[in-house]
Structure 1
């Protein structure tokens, strides 16, 4: 039961927050760099961000969710990784519209559709990745590679309780 609880709700809150916040930072940095490169008309940086941004937005949530599940970060953190690109894009457009950044048009009704599409794609990718990570954990536990909670000490690293205290 500890493995199931760790996979569903997470045992490593610090690692889960690091996963979510780190990915949000990477997506934000890539989006700002892409906008700055496009505004400054820098072709080399624009070419790099044209390849990096789709990689982060569409392809990264699945493997990150799988890694998060394997690290026992919990389902909510792993699925949150999937909606981060949509939240960052929506926040970027909202902030750009409020501040009045040229080239950021929040009045376009299609931007809402794009944001919802990003969320649907990212969430489905994260769900598949989470399922793959859970399968990997359960398979490793079945074959004797893993431990119940994955920290090697039998206790929860966040609250200092040992398994005997539970």
Structure 2
């Protein structure tokens, strides 16, 4: 797979899934913790959440996408990182509304509008991070700092070694 294909489509699917799912879990934990802290009137946790949640929702997608692009996780996975906060937020609001959690619901603002705004901000941030990561990966390739074998999954490396061994015997 060429460098362009690796950067656009990705070579490391397992890492890409881990990156997106891990970030989704972190955002879900932070948002749910904020709701629980608000309901339990825990002021210290609430103040911490007031600082942590904006960092996760608005600023974290760019560096995570940059790291994913550099690791050759692919464009779709890197851009999905930007949509994660919006999807988790919408899911939390829907679950909170269905369960009747006080203070969680779509009564204050239309859920679709808020979610679309989160998606726009997150995907824009992730796109900038993805572009930075691709640039860093291409510069590292030009400088000879990256090894092509490090860009593949362990299973693919074993197949490549097996293929090379059979090619030598022929």
Note whether the superposition's TM-score is higher than 0.5: yes
Q: What's the TM-score, normalizing by structure 2?
A: 0.88
Change (3 A) 1:69 1:163: farther
Match of 2:21 in 1: 21
Q: Any idea what the Cα deviations from partners look like across 1:27-79, whole Å, max 9, x if unmatched?
A: 00000011111111111000000000000000000000000001111111100
CA contact (8 A) 1:2 1:148 kept: no
Matches of 2:73 and 2:155 in 1, distance apart?
12
Matches of 1:165 and 1:134 in 2, distance apart?
29
Match of 1:157 in 2: 154
State yes or no: 1:65 paired with 2:62: no
Larger radius of gyration: 2
Matches of 2:94 and 2:149 in 1, distance apart?
41
> How many aligned residue pairs are there?
163
Q: Any idea what the Cα deviations from partners look like across 1:107-147, whole Å, max 9, x if unmatched?
A: 44433211111100000000010000000000000011112
Matches of 1:88 and 1:134 in 2, distance apart?
27
Matches of 2:69 and 2:57 in 1, distance apart?
19
Structure 1 unaligned residues grouped into runs of 5+: none
Matches of 1:54 and 1:2 in 2, distance apart?
37
Match of 2:74 in 1: 74
Secondary structure in 2 aligned to 1:10? coil
Match of 1:132 in 2: 132
User: 1:103: how far off?
Assistant: 1.2
State yes or no: 1:90 paired with 2:87: no
Change (3 A) 1:74 1:163: farther
Matches of 1:25 and 1:143 in 2, distance apart?
36
Matches of 2:96 and 2:46 in 1, distance apart?
19
Secondary structure in 2 aligned to 1:150? helix
